[in-house]
Amino acid sequence: MKKWIALLLAVAMTAMLGACAASAAPAATETPVATAAVTEAPAVTPEPTVAPLEAAEVQLFIAASLEGAFKEIIPLYNAKEPNVKITYNADSSGTLLTQVQEGFACDVFFSAAVSQVKTLEEEGYMIAGSRVDLLANKLVLISLKGSGTAVTGFADLSKAKSIALADGSVPAGKYTRQLLINLGVLDGSKEAKDYTTADVSAALGGVEINECANVSKVKEAVKEGSNEVGTVYYSDAYSVKDDVDMIEVADTALTGDIIYPVCRVNNPEATAAETAAADDFIAFLQTDAVKAIFENYMFIINK
């Protein structure tokens, strides 16, 4: 009997010790879980999109010497403004001025000389404040490669058998006459533009002169060998450099500065969309991309 009592006491003691050990054990703790910081992405502002201009047609008048450059400029503009049609008329600046005065529709006028744009302004055709003196050029005396000409420069033009020369209403023709005044070949008794082709021929000792309607026709006459020499712009001469020799590039002290101004012309027939397109086109002509094209055609950007 005593053995059973002792056994029961032993079991009871063991249970009490187990309970004490359990209560003394530290409580289990949860392992913290690392969480990544969440940051909101900054709001992305979409690039503003400019809608193409409305359908419109712009009437562009350009000096003949600019035509090559504009054959590249117009497609470049249409890549930006596909709804705008640019219709150009290339001729001498004097002829273009006369056409505006006669009522031809014109929105943008790009001259090879300042005088035509001044006339547009004085007669109320030019939109005030729109003139930009964008380009400059130089006058060059050229001859067909291998022509064997005895002419060595402007000072001995009288040695030529024949000369291609734009008339006095054409800027290149006027600049040539001004040069001849400053060289003492023409007497300077009247304005350069007022000397007729016959006057110039007589002053040069009766040399044959082919009077041309614009500078492009002078270039072609020399390139084809129809005339021994001719006076064109540097940009024109460069465009046919494989076919002609540049005998002399004139100093601007002899010709005066050769500036190409562009302006907006008041076209009463233009719609609001056409007016907006003409303004946009003038702005486009002043971009770096277009200036690079002009420089490729050897025009000087007038700073």
Is residue 154 included in any domain, yes or no?
A: yes
The pLDDT assigned to 51 comes to 87
41-to-38, 44, 46 alpha-carbon distances in Å: 10, 9, 15
Query: Is residue 156 situated within a structural domain?
Result: yes
8 A C-beta contact, residue 157 and residue 163: yes
Q: How many CB atoms lie within 10 A of CB 255?
A: 23
Instruction: Quote the pLDDT of residue 19.
Output: 43
Which SS3 state, helix, strand or coil, does residue 241 take? coil
Average pLDDT per block of 10 residues along the chain, 303 residues long = 40 43 42 47 55 96 97 98 98 97 98 97 98 98 97 98 97 98 98 98 98 97 98 96 97 97 97 98 98 97 90
Write out the residue range of the structural domain in which residue 196 sits: 139-249
Say yes or no: 191 and 96 in one domain: no
pLDDT of residue 40: 55
| pLDDT for residue 49 | 58
> Taking the CA of residue 82 as centre, how many other CA atoms within 13 Å lie in the half-sphere pointing to its CB?
3
In a domain, 11, yes or no: no
Domain total of the chain: 2
Does residue 100 sit in the same domain as residue 235?
A: no
What pLDDT does 150 receive? Answer: 98
Residue 48 in any domain: the answer is no
Let me know whether 184 and 118 are in one domain: no
**What's the pLDDT score for residue 251?**
97
94 with 232, same domain: the answer is: no
Within this chain, do residues 199 and 242 fall inside the same structural domain, yes or no?
Answer: yes
Distance from C-alpha of 286 to C-alpha of 293, rounded to nearest angstrom = 11
CA–CA dist 28, 63 (Å, integer):
95
CATH number for 68 = 3.40.190.10
Q: Cβ distance 84 to 277 under 8 Å?
A: yes
Q: What is the pLDDT of residue 50?
A: 73
The verdict on 208 and 182 lying in the same domain is yes
Q: Are residues 169 and 216 located together in one domain of the fold? A: yes
Q: Are residues 191 and 269 in the same domain?
A: no
